[in-house]
Amino acid sequence: QMARALLAHGLEVTVFETAPKVGGLWRENYHTYGVQVPKQLYEFPDFPFDAVSWGDYPTGGQTQTYIEAYAAHFKLEKHIKFNTTVLAMTERKGQKGYIFDLGEAGSEEFDFAIIATGMYSQVPN
């Protein structure tokens, strides 16, 4: 959702994703579970969660599919570097911005950074 908002404001966006696809905890942990609240609490404001009836509780798999559809609909995948882990982020010397250490994938520099590791990531935030 953040990438979409930044793109809508005309900014260049790069998202680093350790996994091979979007979804976060829905991709790995809750695929066969049911969601504990109605779909409206998981629905993106500008993208209807049509696979599930109003007031119903989607499964983890349906939620994962919905997140993937959101990324595809807004063409976010081309801004995501999948299977890419950020090992470290340091400030540039002598100018504003940051250097991202991507291990074997090298490094990349950016003027701004948004950290969105998620509250359930396995790596200390």
pLDDT mean over 110-114: 96
Query: Mean pLDDT, to the nearest integer, of 70-82?
Result: 96
For range 2-28, the mean pLDDT: 92
pLDDT confidence tier of residue 7, bands split at 50, 70 and 90: very high
Q: Output phi, psi for 91, to 5 deg.
A: -75, 145
pLDDT of residue 109: 97
The answer, yes or no, to whether residue 52 has pLDDT greater than 80, is no
Residue found by looking up tokens 């559809």 in the block: 69
Could you give the CA distance from residue 53 to residue 106 in angstroms, rounded to a whole number?
A: 45
CA distance 32 to 63: 11
pLDDT score of 122: 66
State the Cα–Cα distance between residues 121 and 125, nearest whole angstrom.
8
* pLDDT at res. 91: 97
Query: What is the sign of the dihedral through the CA atoms of 104, 79, 58 and 120?
Result: positive
Q: Mean pLDDT throughout 89-118? A: 94
Confidence tier at 84 by pLDDT (50, 70, 90) = very high
From CA 15, how far away is CA 88, in angstroms rounded?
Answer: 15
